Every structure is written in C-alpha cells, then in structure tokens.
Structure 1
C-alpha cells in the first residue's frame, strides 16, 4: 500500500516536471 502511494507520488512528480520542461521548451522555441 505504501509502495503504491510512493510510486504514484514519484510518477506525479516526474510527470509534472516533464510537463514543465516541455512547456519551457515550447516557450523558448516560440521566442526563438
């Protein structure tokens, strides 16, 4: 149970981080 919660938290953290990086890359491409 705790393992699943931890894995979900890690998955959410990584997904949000990648989404931020993706948006940042899109913004840079749009500017340049």
Structure 2
C-alpha cells in the first residue's frame, strides 16, 4: 500500500539503534501481511 511504501522509505532512512531498526522492520513485515 502507499502507507506501507512511506513506512519502508522511513525505515530505509532510519539511523538509529540496530535493535530498533530490527524491531521496526519486523513490525513493517507483520503489518504488510
């Protein structure tokens, strides 16, 4: 979805703790189902 693409773009530009990035990626993948 468009929202998902925006979230992915934010994730790709996210410069944070690797653990936070991993959690964000997992949350995106769950929401994408």
Give the counterpart of 1:21 among 15, 20, 23. 23
Unpaired runs of at least 5, structure 2: 1-15
Question: Whose helix fraction is larger, Structure 1's or Structure 2's?
Answer: 1
Q: CA RMSD in A?
A: 1.5
4+ residue stretches of structure 1 with deviation over 6 A? none
Unpaired runs of at least 5, structure 1: 1-13
Aligned residues: 18
TM-score scaled by length of structure 1: 0.52
